[in-house]
A = this chain, B = another copy of it.
Amino acid sequence: MVSLRTMKAEIITIGDEILIGQIVDTNSAWMAQQLNDIGVKVERIVTISDALEEITTVLSEAEKRADVVLITGGLGPTKDDVTKKALAQYFNCGFKFHTDIEAHIARLFARFGKEMSKLNSLQAELPSACEPLQNNQGTAPGMWFTQNNTIFVSMPGVPYEMKGLMNDHVLPRIKSTYALPTILHRTILTMGMGESWLSERIASWEDALPNHIKLAYLPSPGRVRLRLSAFGTDAAVLSHSLATEVAKITQLIPELIYGYDDDTIEAVVGQLLKAKCQTVSTAESCTGGMIAHKLTSISGSSDFYIGSIVSYANQVKISSLEVPESDIQTHGAVSEAVVTRMAEAVKAKMQTDFAIATSGIAGPTGGTEEKPVGTVWIAIAGPNGTIAKKYLFGQNRERNIEISANTALNMLRKQLILN
Contact = CB atoms under 8 A, between A and B. Distances in A.
Interface of A: 16-26, 28-36, 41-50, 54, 76-80, 114, 117-120, 139, 158, 160, 185, 187, 195-197, 199-200, 206, 214-220, 225, 227, 229, 282, 284, 287-293, 295-297, 299-302, 305-313, 315-316, 319-320, 349-351, 363-365, 396-399, 401
Given A21-B32, A119-B200, A219 B311 contact: no
B306 A309 contact: no
Nearest to A289: B292
Contact of A45 (B46, B78, B401): B46
Given A78-B195, A78-B199, A349-B319, A216 B312 contact: no
Given A21-B30, A119-B200, A216-B80, A305 B312 contact: yes
Question: 7 nearest interchain CB pairs?
Answer: A288-B296, A289-B292, A21-B33, A289-B289, A21-B32, A308-B310, A307-B316
Contact of A36 (B20, B44, B48, B229): B20
B19 A196 contact: no
Contacts of A22: 29, 33, 185, 187, 218, 225, 227
Contacts of A293: 287-290, 292-293, 401
B42 A20 contact: yes
Contacts of A218: 17, 22-23
The count of identical subunits is 2
A32 B20 contact: yes
A160 B199 CA distance: 21
A349 B316 CA distance: 9
B77 A199 contact: yes
24 contacts: A18-B29, A20-B32, A21-B32, A23-B220, A24-B25, A24-B26, A24-B28, A25-B29, A44-B46, A45-B46, A46-B47, A80-B216, A117-B196, A117-B197, A120-B196, A287-B293, A288-B293, A288-B305, A289-B291, A292-B310, A306-B312, A307-B309, A307-B313, A320-B320
Given A22-B227, A206-B79, A293-B288, A320 B309 contact: yes
Nearest to A214: B80
A349 B310 CA distance: 13
Contacts of A363: 299
A297 B401 contact: yes
A307 to B, nearest CB: 4
Given A297-B288, A312-B302, A49 B45 contact: no
Contacts of A295: 288
Nearest to A194: B114
Contacts of A311: 307
A402 to B, nearest CB: 10
A317 to B, nearest CB: 9
A19 B45 contact: yes
B21 A196 contact: no
A301 B306 contact: no
Given A20-B185, A218-B22, A297-B288, A43 B32 contact: no
A106 to B, nearest CB: 13
A328 B22 CA distance: 43
A77 B196 CA distance: 6
Nearest to A295: B288
B33 A364 contact: no
Contacts of A297: 288, 397-398, 401
Contact of A292 (B44, B48, B292): B292
A84 to B, nearest CB: 16
A209 to B, nearest CB: 10
Contacts of A216: 16-17, 50, 80
